[in-house]
Structure 1
Amino acid sequence: MNRELKRICVYLGSNPGNNPAYVAAAEALGRELAERSIGLVYGGSSTGLMGRLADTCLAEGGEVVGVIPERLVEKEIAHPGLTESRVVRTMHERKQLMADLSDAFIALPGGLGTLDEFFEVLTWNQIGYHAKPCGLLDVNGYYGFLAEHLDRMVAEGFLMPVHRSMVLTSPTPGELINRFVEYDPPVVDKWIEMKKGL
C-alpha cells in the first residue's frame, strides 16, 4: 500500500525537556515534513518542542495548522505566525478537529497531554473509528518503557497483538513517515477476547 499523507498530526511537549536531543528531533521532523510537502497539524503553541517544530516547518516553507482551546491561548502562548490557526472551545473539540484534519499521528516526547492525545486516537484506531497510522518517534529511548508496557499489556491479556502492531515506532522522522506510507491497517472486528468462565 502506498498511502498519501497530506497532513500529519504531531503531539509533543509545550516544554523543551531536559535533553537537547528532543529539540533536535522536533526540528528534524519539521524539516522532514516541509521537504515532503506534508502539512503539520499540532496544538498551536509557540513554546517548548511545539514551538520549535512549528518554527522549523514554517522556516522551510511548510504548512502549519494549529488547533488550540480558548483557555489555553494565553497559557500555552498561541503561535502568532502559523499558516492557519483554529481556536476551539474545548479539549474534546481540539482532539476531534486535529484528527479530522490529519492522515496520520506522531507522538514526540511530551507529558500527560501528549500521551492523552496519542492514546485517544490510538483507541479510535483500535475500535475502528479510523484506520490512520499512529507512531511514536522514540527519541533517545524516551518511549522505550512505554513500548515495554504495551508488550506487557499483550502478555497479561489486556491488549490483542494485532492492536499492539498498530503502534509504529522509529528513532528517526524519515523512517517513521516511510512506515506510515507503507502502512496497511489490520482488519479487526473485535477488541475483546471472551474467555470461558468470565
Structure 2
Amino acid sequence: MSRFCVYLGSREGNSPAFRQAANALGTALAQRGHTLVYGGARLGLMGELANATLAAGGQVIGVMPDHLVEREQAHFGLTELIRVANMHERKATMAANADAFIAMPGGIGTFEELFEIWTWGYLGLHEKPMGLLNTDDFYGPLLTFLDNTVGHGFLAQPTRDMLQDAQTPKALLDALEAQL
C-alpha cells in the first residue's frame, strides 16, 4: 500500500517500552501491507523496527550514507539498502520514498529529521501525513512546548495540527492512514 518513513534512535533507550513499540510498529506496518523506509541501521530501535517488519513479512528500505555504513552498522538483510553520499541525500531519499512520516523516540538525529520534514510540509514541499509515536510519554514535553509555542504566537495552530500524535502504533497508523 504505502511507504512509511520512520525516524528513530540507533540506540534502544532505557525503557523496554521503546523496543516493544518498535516491534509493534514494524509488525503493524507489515500486516497492513506498508513498506518501511528508515535509516538502514541494524542496531538500537532502528534494528528492532526493521527486524520486526521483516519477520512479519514486510518490505524494508534502508537509506544510509557511505560514511555511516560501519559506524551505524548497516543492516544488510533488508529488502533494499540504498547507499548515498551524505546526510542531506539520505534525508531527501527517505522523503522521496515515503508517503507518510513517523517519529519514534530517538536523539538529536531523530529530532532534526522530524523538524526538517515538518518544515518541508509547512513550506508546501509535500502534503504527506506526519506523526509522533509518543511511547511512554517520550514526546509529552515536546508536545507541551509546541502548544506553548502556539500560545505565544510563534506557531500557527494549523501548522501544529499537521503533526499528529498517539501513544500506540495502531492509533497512530489509523490516524495517518486516514490522511493518505
TM-score normalised by structure 1 residue count = 0.89
User: Which residue pairs with 1:46 in the alignment?
Assistant: 42
Letter in 2 for 1:21: A
SS at match of 2:76: coil
Matched, 1:112 2:112: no
Matched, 1:167 2:167: no
Runs of 4+ aligned structure 1 residues displaced above 2 Å come to none
1:173 is displaced (CA, Å) by 0.8
Letter in 1 for 2:126: H
Aligned pairs for 1:148-159 within 5 A = 148-159=144-155
1:174 is displaced (CA, Å) by 1.1
Letter in 2 for 1:125: G
Matched, 1:88 2:93: no
How large is the Cα RMSD of the aligned pairs?
Answer: 0.9
Unaligned runs of 5+ in 1: 185-198
1:157 is displaced (CA, Å) by 1.1
Unaligned runs of 5+ in 2: none
Letter in 1 for 2:23: E
User: Which residue pairs with 2:136 in the alignment?
Assistant: 140
Aligned pairs for 1:53-132 within 5 A = 53-132=49-128
User: Based on CA coordinates, which of the two structures has the bigger radius of gyration?
Assistant: 1
1:183 is displaced (CA, Å) by 2.4
Letter in 2 for 1:58: L
Question: Quick check: which one's helix share is greater?
Answer: 2
**Per-residue displacement from partner, 1:116-165 (whole Å, max 9, x unpaired)?**
00110000001100010010000010000000010111111110011000
Letter in 1 for 2:152: E
Letter in 2 for 1:168: Q
Q: 1:158 and 1:183 mapped to 2: Cα distance?
A: 26
Letter in 1 for 2:59: E
**Per-residue displacement from partner, 1:77-129 (whole Å, max 9, x unpaired)?**
00010000000001000000000000000000000000000110000001100
1:24 is displaced (CA, Å) by 0.2
SS at match of 1:65: strand
Report percent identity of matched pairs. Answer: 51
